[in-house]
Amino acid sequence: GRELFVYSGATAAWNPETNTWRQLAYPSTNFNAGAQPLTGVWTGDQVILVGYRLHPPTREDNLFVTSYGADLGCCRSYPDPPFSLTYGEAFWTGDEMLLIGALLDSNGTPKTEDGLGRLAGLDPVSGVWTKYEAPPLTGSGFPGRGRISAAWTGTRLIAWIAWGNAAEWTKDDGWRPLPRPPMQGDHCRPRTVVVGEDVFAMLCGQAAVWSDAAQRWYSIRVPDSPPWSSDLCIPIADSTVSGLVDVWCSLGGGNVSWRVDSSKMQATRYSEPATLSQWELLPNPAATRLESTAIVWSGEEFLYFSGQGTEVEEFGGWGYDPETNVMHGFPDAPWPGRWGQVALWTGDERSEEHTSELQ
């Protein structure tokens, strides 16, 4: 298929060729009123969703997994993951779904000794989970400083923690520690996206790049105006065509969007701080905040899907073509807006889910 799949309390798919939505069957066995979407992946022949039970029987029993087939028909259930998370991300490696995250309280503080990181892989063919060694991430125990972010480069997993260190994982060699990212901040969600062989990371309006070739972090200077102090910055990369990182930040109730050209970043990151010439202002789709925005790359354009809580009647999206610098809207989804969603592109391009933290 080549559609935008969205789950947000209901499930639907948007077709860019017809500019229409179609409602999908609802996996009521798991995704009910007592659950929220956490993360998900497109494998090339199915969507795998990880859900979060809001009122689990036990603290270690709050996740479940279901899937939609290639035609987005519903549904196949998988065994629950081998641990519980309140904060997690999923990545498709080509033969398994990696699930990494942490079990945190409402302040972002780890609930358990291994709360700073948990990793497992699901083989969708056998339906078997493999629990891997926990990432060797260390950070302070203060509120907001237990949040993990990660990215799959195609060969390895890079993970890091706010106010902490970083680590690299491969299935053959396991974990190895990496230097601490040059960013810090309280109560912010770290975010990460792959650009070529490198990793672009953001925290509290700060940015840095992990260079695989140089095996070190480089600070990236962000625009001075407007000030980037918000937690709500979402980077997503077009690494298949033009090598751009598209960054959207919610500032003062609206959005400001910037684009970073990775080719310029490649040339300037070795002198710190990087020059501002790499940043370019993008069109602003609407004055909707990013708490409930999900962004995907379709192989041709960035697709933004947004809403503002359960009372919002309109729940729509926009497409942005980085080659033509043109933004266009598409019809409202066939349900009211809700907090938190998983959005995935089900086309040929690799789809990575980007969404806001659970509310």
DSSP E strand boundaries for 221-345: 233-238, 244-251, 254-261, 279-281, 293-297, 302-306, 317-321, 326-330, 342-345
Rounded average pLDDT over 137-145: 59
Query: Running DSSP on this structure, what letter comes out for residue 111?
Result: S
> Can you give the pTM of this predicted structure?
0.86
Range name among 21-30, 70-79, 285-294, 326-335 with the lowest pLDDT average: 285-294
Q: Can you give the pLDDT at residue 6?
A: 83
Q: Which helix (H) or strand (E) holds 110?
A: none
pLDDT at residue 114 is higher than 70: no
pLDDT at residue 338 is higher than 60: no
267-276: pLDDT as tens digits: 544 444 444 4
pLDDT at residue 190 is higher than 60: yes
Q: Please give the residue that has the higher pLDDT: either 71 or 49.
A: 49
Confidence at 159, pLDDT banded by 50, 70, 90: very high
Q: Can you give the pLDDT at residue 310?
A: 43
Rounded average pLDDT over 258-284: 61
Q: Can you give the pLDDT at residue 239?
A: 57
Rounded average pLDDT over 62-90: 86
pLDDT at residue 352 is higher than 50: no
161-185: pLDDT as tens digits: 877 889 999 999 999 999 999 887 7
Assigned token pair, 291: 């708490």
pLDDT at residue 124 is higher than 90: yes
Q: Please give the residue that has the higher pLDDT: either 35 or 212.
A: 212
Query: Running DSSP on this structure, what letter comes out for residue 164?
Result: B
Q: Can you give the pLDDT at residue 272?
A: 42
Q: Can you give the pLDDT at residue 148?
A: 85
pLDDT at residue 52 is higher than 50: yes
Average pLDDT across the chain, whole number? 76
Confidence at 96, pLDDT banded by 50, 70, 90: very high
Range name among 1-15, 28-42, 293-307 with the lowest pLDDT average: 28-42
Q: Can you give the pLDDT at residue 357?
A: 38
285-336: pLDDT as tens digits: 554 555 556 788 888 888 877 654 444 445 567 788 877 878 788 887 776 5
Rounded average pLDDT over 228-251: 69
Q: Can you give the pLDDT at residue 349?
A: 45
Assigned token pair, 59: 């603290």
Confidence at 234, pLDDT banded by 50, 70, 90: confident
Percent of the chain with pLDDT over 70: 67
Q: Can you give the pLDDT at residue 262?
A: 67
Task: Judge whether 12 and 335 are in contact, CB under 8 Å.
Answer: yes
Q: Please give the residue that has the higher pLDDT: either 107 or 50.
A: 50
Q: Can you give the pLDDT at residue 229?
A: 55
Q: Can you give the pLDDT at residue 94?
A: 95
Q: What type of residue sits at position 56?
A: P
Alpha carbons 155 and 170: distance in angstroms, whole number: 7
Residues in the chain: 359
How many other C-beta atoms are found inside a 10 Å radius of the C-beta of residue 4?
26
Q: Can you give the pLDDT at residue 227?
A: 52
Assigned token pair, 78: 């998988």
Assigned token pair, 306: 């947004």
